[in-house]
Amino acid sequence: MSSAEGGDLVARVEGSAGIIRLNRPKAINAVTLEMFRDIDKALDRFEADPAVSVILLEGAGERGLCAGGDIRTLWESSKVNGDLGKILWREEYILNARIKKFPKPYVAFMDGIVMGGGVGLSAHASHRVVTDRTKLAMPEVGLGFFPDVGGTYLLSHSPGEIGTYFGLTGQTMNGPDAIHARFADWVVPAVKLPELREALTKLGSGATAADVGQLINGFATGETAGPVAAKQRAIDALFGFDRMEDIFAALKRDGSDFAQAALKTLNEKSPRGMVVTLKLLRLARKSSSLEECLVREYRAALEVFRSDDFREGVRAAVIDKDRNPTWSPPRIEDVTPEMLAPYLAEIGADELKFN
């Protein structure tokens, strides 16, 4: 476990707070397998320490909490039929579930960019703080993937079809919209975070979840809805279908600027990724727990890891950066039930299991 300032993860006790700092500012704190393991060890330590009453997750640097998982390394493993996906996602998803059930208050400072794997470390926290700088997104469909790390659980519990919209388009939420979508709890101005951080370290060893909530509330603006929330009625009408073809048809019929912009965005995404995402979101609506969704996501993620769409999506967005992926199949109409089936199939001995 690294507690040195130079490590990719800093974990230390400050007063009554167990601090977990993602410490790769040049990579906007993109998370590696080793960092997930170090977070798990830190949580072991903080859970057992009676002096620690609250956990605080933060990101180093000015740009954001976390831009997601270390996607380049996954891409390299996928190209050679490696097993990094199987190992990393298993440990990451088990950690996501642990965060949701953690027995001590877990505060996430969701400042700046919060995407993908960063959402998994923060949006399952008991106390979720966004700011006036927050840019939160689940952009995985643009990589031939789907919103994982419990994203299907979170998005399916957003009001109406807001989660369907954010999951399929990968659009960015600001702080108030993250609260509306139920990804966060409070907006605190970024300039007040240092003061809130210090107050959290001084809460004392007997602090309860209610104490932490009351403290954060004193710093919060009270905002609960942003620009996308204002489009709720249109989003519910346009995205309230169980087939991608029907969503596309609704968007094409609707002449509004909003619908046309959404259509343009969806036309850039992986058709297979969209179909998989919509199916997982609809299944998640019927799921009672985060774990149930994570088991399903793990099955689908292993199938994604084997797919050309994932390698092509990452190539176009991260490796060559030409923003011009060639999806397989190229059209939504060409994604057959037979193509979808392996993403949902049980995987025997490889199933995700929780302690």
pLDDT at 1: 38
Residue 31 to residue 169: CA distance in whole angstroms: 23
Closest-CA residue to 304 (of 276, 264, 263)? 276
- Which residues lie below 8 Å from residue 95, measured CB to CB, with a gap of 6+? 36, 39, 40, 120, 121
Q: Would you call 117 a catalytic residue per the annotation? A: yes
Question: How open is the CA angle 329-335-338, to the nearest 5 degrees?
Answer: 120
How many other CB atoms are found less than 10 A from the CB of residue 283? 15
297: which 2 tokens? 């996501």
Encoded amino acid at 156, one letter: S
pTM check: above 0.85: yes
- Strand order, beta sheet including 127-130: 9-14, 17-22, 54-59, 106-110, 127-130, 186-187
Residue 350 to residue 336: CA distance in whole angstroms: 25
Provide the percentage of residues in the chain whose pLDDT is more than 70.
Answer: 98
Q: Please give the sequence-ordered ranges of beta strands (E in DSSP) within the chain, or none if there are none.
A: 9-14, 17-22, 54-59, 64-66, 106-110, 113-115, 127-130, 135-137, 186-187
Each residue's pLDDT expressed in tens, for the chain with a length of 355 residues: 334 456 999 999 999 999 999 999 999 999 999 999 999 999 999 999 999 999 999 999 999 999 999 999 999 999 999 999 999 999 999 999 999 999 999 999 999 999 999 999 999 999 999 999 999 999 999 999 999 999 999 999 999 999 999 999 999 999 999 999 999 999 999 999 999 999 999 999 889 999 999 999 999 999 999 999 999 999 999 999 999 999 999 999 998 999 999 999 999 999 999 999 999 999 999 999 999 999 999 999 999 999 899 999 999 999 999 999 999 999 999 999 999 999 999 999 999 999 8
pLDDT at 355: 80
For the chain, state the CA radius of gyration: 20
- Which residues lie below 8 Å from residue 101, measured CB to CB, with a gap of 6+? none
Query: Nearest 5°: phi and psi at 291?
Result: -60, -45
The one catalytic residue among 8, 92, 140, 177: 140
- C-alpha distances out from residue 169 to 18, 140, 341, Å: 36, 9, 23
Residue 18 to residue 191: CA distance in whole angstroms: 22
pLDDT at 136: 98
* Residue burial 175-203, b: 16+ Cβ < 10 Å; e: rest: bbbbbbbbbbbbbbebebbeebbebbbeb
The one catalytic residue among 68, 69, 116, 226: 69
pLDDT at 179: 98
143: which 2 tokens? 């990589």
Q: Which residue in the block uniquely carries the two structure tokens 């620009």?
A: 227
Q: Quote the DSSP letter at residue 306.
A: T
Q: Would you call 132 a catalytic residue per the annotation? A: no
Q: Quote the DSSP letter at residue 125.
A: S
pLDDT at 2: 38
Closest-CA residue to 55 (of 40, 70, 69)? 40
The one catalytic residue among 8, 148, 297, 309: 148
Q: Would you call 140 a catalytic residue per the annotation? A: yes
The one catalytic residue among 18, 68, 116, 117: 117
